[in-house]
Structure 1
Amino acid sequence: MTMVLRLIVGFGAWVLLILAISNSAQAKNSEQGVNDIKVPQVLAHRDRAEPINRILKHRLDVLLPELMAESELDMWLVINREYGEDALFYTLVPEPTFAARRTTLLVFVRNEEGVERFSVSRYPIAGFYESRWQGGTDQQQWQRLVEIIKDYDPQKIGINVSEEWAVADGLSQGLYSTLMSHLPEELQKRVVSSEELVVRWFETRTKPEKEVYPQIVAIARGVIAEAFSSKVITPGVTTDKDIAWYIRERFEELGVKPWFQPYVTVQRKGDTNDPESPFFGRSDRVIMPGDIIHTDVGLCYLKLCTDTQEMGYVARFGEYEVPKGLKEALAKGNQWQDILTSQYKTGRTGNEILKATQVAAKKQKLNSSTYTHPLGFVGHAVGPTIGMWDNQGPTPVKGDRKLYPNTAYAIEGNVKVKLPEWDNQLIQIMLEQSALFDGERVIYLAGRQTEWHFIR
């Protein structure tokens, strides 16, 4: 294939991606039943490189200068060794990059025009990080880095060490010791943590990312719709684990990466549930008519991750619609979501959002629990934590982090409701949908569940 043809194919892949978003990923349940949601097109691995690298270049050229200025860093060093890379490294390098080569030293220097970026490594990363070292011994590599630092004379040199945030703590002890042993004492005094920069880099979603994120979320919702249907479920035969493995294998078939093993739980009339228990539902069950089923799934595609929980109901013989009590229970789950998302205000902390949600939910007489987390390059991402299932607040440190615009979240939690059709047995509606806060409102990236998956 000629280079020109490859460029045409790459551009075509990007166009197909955008078309897929407009045609399918923005579909909402008010316009389309959950059982009618389809899995959108997934690009072949080769065709993903162009959009991934386009997004990365935009982040490096547009976002990074803003974040380095915010964090007041003059220079940022990202240092990795082959097969000991941290999660941050893979957010900074283009496709296809599978590992750091030997010791890879990435250098970012803030100036009036933006951010200058390069490597001090044996192997350059073409188009993104040209090398300023001609090769030699390990000792010569570190000496060259020190020469460059002296030439730029930065007052604040950021390195990836952090007590609280794992993604900002990727510099190994060995590399840290090597760096500091080569820096003169005066430069050692200028070394600071790049924690704030790394957290903001991870949590911020750019315009190109917002264009593709809806399709990524729609893949998860589409696969759930398949799994929670008669295509997969035969009452009296199919188990919860059969459904979970269908979801896992479907993700693998599509070529998207699950970031945890999907699971399915079952609630059944007659179950004895402790009202104080954080979660209802049991595993290792054969799915039977009249069961309530729930799943939790997460996938990563185009370097962005999702987290989704939805609910389904298995019809009894002669039952042609979801019982009224279940419809009302799901509506209460949506009511809780609305209360939570209405509390999103720029500058509020996660703990403040959690407290306001709890107060408003109590006024509406909702028995709810909130445990919402950020999304992005990883599933349980960095940013303000808004409650935890085992800590309903306040959450130290991470709950105290402030909310920024253009950040994504898994709107996650549950409500407990008495179901009349089950003799007022307490059931649990567990919901989780991927959404983005744009600074003014929370937008569900591929709609949200407002009606039951109904297995007839």
Structure 2
Amino acid sequence: MLLPRALEAADVDAWVILCRENNNDPLADHVGCENAGAPAAYVFYRLSDEKGGSEFHSLVFSPSSEATALAELEIHDKVVSVPRGESALKQAAEFIQEHDFQRIAVNSSVNNAQADGLSYTQRLALKDALGDKFAQRLVSSEELVYEWLAIKLPQEVDIIREAARLTAEWQIEAYKQVVPGKTTDADVARFLKAKMEEHGVTDAWAPDQNPNVNSGPDRGHSHATDKVIMPGDVIQTDFGIKVHGRWVSDIQRFAYVLKPGETKPPEDIQHYWESARAGGRAAFEAMKPGVRGIDVDAAQSVLMKQNGSEHVMWSTGHPVGYVAHDTGPNLGGSRGATVRPAAKKTLKAGMVFAFDGFHAWKRDDGTTKTISVEEMAVITEDGAEYLIPPQEELILIPSE
């Protein structure tokens, strides 16, 4: 449903993906060539129809060793079995020449790693097979991949929503296990790892840094340490899971450890929390079709300044879906020295984001602590919708 629109939006006649064993293209399992042994060529293309429009087709030139199983899956219009000793790349090049495609996308991109799977040697081989005339028609697939992966189908959003629900639910459950003065950040992380194993889900990003549990000063993207959780600590848990081997979540939940005699957070901590929560709400209200990512970031930045937050280097948010930092508009740029090209992209209905509400402050020891409560939302036709209810208050952990 999405790829034909992406080819049209990117003004591309054909898209060629070269697949191989052991060092495959990042998009291999999105198009069905994750099991490639010998080199294979996948061609997605548009042909003009009698009504002045175009018809979408997919054609695979597959080594005979994989062709039978691939054809049985029926995910491509046609699978051509390439006998041993013959070149799938050469046959694909001949097909491209025969149809005289004008703009031929390949996976080479400066800005999007998911659209940068074509190696230098593969590109040389492709140019040699196409010849000078057609090699000059090669363009980056960056815009095509952007248009294709950034939009999620409603069924996908439902799956991601369930992943988000589990992610937040397990974090709250993990906080209930904390015994101040005894439990470490790493203990909380191990509890969440056990929940993942119990339910048969995997990590949304690098396993060593998922979850990132931190009851001390900011550490950025990092692993949980053996720091003991103490009264007065603000605990951050940044956690994501991958379900069905494909879709991921990215949620942060924050807790405060009450000191003996406290029944609520002290005034300063409560202010930091309310400031972060307000920043996140401002970003959410700004999220709608046609708005640039940098403008969503700017909506929060105004409140951060008003509420006395220290500088925060991180973007307000990022696309999420197939990976934690997915293809799509970056919700950042208003506080940094440079602006990513993706921050100037506009939001569209069907895009899914993880986004933070920020407030940073200086601790007594001079280090910085940031509340970055992270929620997930999908863009709708007229605004945005939370995937799960957002965190309204700090989770309070009593001290014995």
- Offset from partner CA, 1:323-377 (integer Å, 9 cap, x none): 5654443222211111122223433333333334323543465557352222121
Aligned partners of 1:415 and 1:283: how far apart in 2?
Answer: 23
Does residue 246 of structure 2 align to residue 297 of structure 1? no
Does residue 61 of structure 2 align to residue 117 of structure 1? no
Do the aligned partners of 1:243 and 1:264 also contact (CA within 8 Å) in 2?
yes
Q: Partner residue of 2:30? A: 91
Compare relative contact order (CA 8 Å, sep 6+) and give the higher one, 1 or 2. Answer: 1
Listed as ranges, the gaps of 5+ residues in structure 1 are 1-61, 268-272
Counterparts of 1:158-307 in structure 2, within 5 Å, are 158-229=105-176, 232-258=177-203, 259-260=205-206, 261=209, 262-267=211-216, 283-302=225-244, 303-307=246-250
Does residue 314 of structure 2 align to residue 386 of structure 1? no
- Give the counterpart letter for 1:409 in structure 2: F
Does residue 45 of structure 2 align to residue 102 of structure 1? no
Aligned partners of 2:77 and 2:148: how far apart in 1?
Answer: 22
Aligned partners of 2:305 and 2:180: how far apart in 1?
Answer: 37
Q: Partner residue of 1:155? A: 102
SS in 2 for 1:310: strand
Of 11, 14, 23, which residue of structure 2 is paired with 1:75? 14
Of 354, 359, 376, which residue of structure 1 is paired with 2:321? 376
Q: Judging changes above 3 Å, is the alpha-carbon distance between structure 1 residues 332 and 159 closer, same or farther for their aligned structure 2 residues?
A: same
SS in 2 for 1:214: helix
Q: CA deviation at 1:224?
A: 0.6
- Give the counterpart letter for 1:153 in structure 2: D
Aligned partners of 1:304 and 1:89: how far apart in 2?
Answer: 16
Does residue 393 of structure 2 align to residue 454 of structure 1? no
Do the aligned partners of 1:79 and 1:171 also contact (CA within 8 Å) in 2?
yes
Do the aligned partners of 1:351 and 1:394 also contact (CA within 8 Å) in 2?
no
Listed as ranges, the gaps of 5+ residues in structure 2 are 48-52
Do the aligned partners of 2:24 and 2:34 also contact (CA within 8 Å) in 1?
no
Do the aligned partners of 1:78 and 1:159 also contact (CA within 8 Å) in 2?
yes
SS in 1 for 2:214: strand
- Offset from partner CA, 1:102-140 (integer Å, 9 cap, x none): 222211112346421121102232211365433324544
Aligned partners of 2:110 and 2:86: how far apart in 1?
Answer: 29
Does residue 334 of structure 2 align to residue 334 of structure 1? no
- Give the counterpart letter for 1:119 in structure 2: V
Aligned partners of 1:174 and 1:418: how far apart in 2?
Answer: 50
- Give the counterpart letter for 1:205 in structure 2: K
Q: Judging changes above 3 Å, is the alpha-carbon distance between structure 1 residues 393 and 443 closer, same or farther for their aligned structure 2 residues?
A: farther
Counterparts of 1:2-151 in structure 2, within 5 Å, are 62-93=1-32, 99-111=35-47, 112=53, 114-122=55-63, 123-124=66-67, 125=70, 126-129=73-76, 131-151=78-98
SS in 1 for 2:118: coil
Q: Judging changes above 3 Å, is the alpha-carbon distance between structure 1 residues 137 and 180 closer, same or farther for their aligned structure 2 residues?
A: farther
Q: Judging changes above 3 Å, is the alpha-carbon distance between structure 1 residues 388 and 175 closer, same or farther for their aligned structure 2 residues?
A: same
Aligned partners of 2:40 and 2:89: how far apart in 1?
Answer: 11
Q: CA deviation at 1:161?
A: 0.7
- Offset from partner CA, 1:389-437 (integer Å, 9 cap, x none): 9x63542423333333321111125213699xx9xx9864221112222
Aligned partners of 1:334 and 1:413: how far apart in 2?
Answer: 5
Aligned partners of 1:325 and 1:202: how far apart in 2?
Answer: 42
Q: CA deviation at 1:186?
A: 2.3
Does residue 354 of structure 2 align to residue 410 of structure 1? yes
Aligned partners of 1:101 and 1:445: how far apart in 2?
Answer: 39
Deviating more after overlay: 136-145 vs 319-328: 319-328
What's the TM-score once normalised by structure 1's chain length? 0.74
SS in 2 for 1:133: strand
SS in 1 for 2:124: helix
Do the aligned partners of 1:336 and 1:366 also contact (CA within 8 Å) in 2?
no
SS in 2 for 1:398: helix
Aligned partners of 2:306 and 2:375: how far apart in 1?
Answer: 24
Of 264, 283, 286, which residue of structure 2 is paired with 1:343? 286
Q: Let me know the Cα RMSD of the aligned residues.
A: 3.0
Aligned partners of 1:209 and 1:392: how far apart in 2?
Answer: 32
SS in 2 for 1:177: helix
